[in-house]
Amino acid sequence: MTEPTFALLIDGDNIRSSLYPEILRAASHKRLLSVRRVYGNAATANGWLQEAHLRFIHSGTGKNATDLLICIEALDLILGGAVTGIVLATGDGDFCHLAHYLRERRMPFHCIGTENLSQRLRKAAQSYTVLPQSVPNQNTQPISAPPVAAPAAPPAAAAPTQNEKLRTALHRLLKTAPDGMLPMQSVNPQMLKALPDLDVCQARQGQTWREWITAQGDLFVILGTGAARYVRAAP
């Protein structure tokens, strides 16, 4: 029998490039990854363009453009006979339709994501892997030292800045939001309710919520356009 071949497709709008080594390890049980592609907006590729082992596919800036292109190319690879199964790295529950389609045709579909991996997608996929969180090295042995005088009490922790309060509050809201996503139009009323004693406009220095969220580096991800824009925690 011919050895099964798999396509590794990565949702670059949803998964950060620093996770690529972990993704490869998680996909290693699929012995032949004949196709390796990452999809996303080239203007906000977040390191994926520098990954030489992958083919970067620019999906544009339209609403759900990356998700639609991944589904089209996954079906093209399967129906064209280029591969016999799909390994998808994402966290987006919208790929449930693709998972159902492949399962009904007995085509292998394995999903890889972080702890934010959609519960709906976990149930729809044939199998899934949640990438482990990094842990400190525990192999270092303690070094004996002569007794010394007790150290002075550590200084009290500095009070969180206003910006840190905003970050913490938004993370808490996203943890309880459906699929970890919050509509952009709901951010302001939800944050005002979560931080009643804080002037949130002053705390974000007059920026709009979109500007402030973008300025937080890789802590959050904004997806969609117009009224359909929403925010989620970065994978």
Q: Is-above-0.75 flag for pTM?
A: no
pLDDT in tens, 78-98: 999 999 999 999 989 899 999
Q: What was the pLDDT predicted at 137?
A: 46
As given in the structure block, the two tokens for residue 154 are 């550590």
Higher-scoring residue by pLDDT: 53, 75: 75
pLDDT in tens, 137-168: 444 444 444 555 666 666 666 677 888 888 88
- CA–CA dist 133, 136 (Å, integer): 10
- CA–CA dist 69, 4 (Å, integer): 24
Mean pLDDT of 15-32: 85
As given in the structure block, the two tokens for residue 202 are 């002053």
| 235 and 14 Cβ atoms separated by less than 8 Å | yes
Residue 218's pLDDT band, with cuts at 50, 70 and 90, is confident
Handedness of CA 80, 109, 7, 50 (dihedral sign): positive
Closest alpha carbon to 84 in 138, 31, 136: 31
Domains of the chain: 6-130 (3.40.50.1010), 162-233 (3.30.420)
Residue 204's pLDDT band, with cuts at 50, 70 and 90, is confident
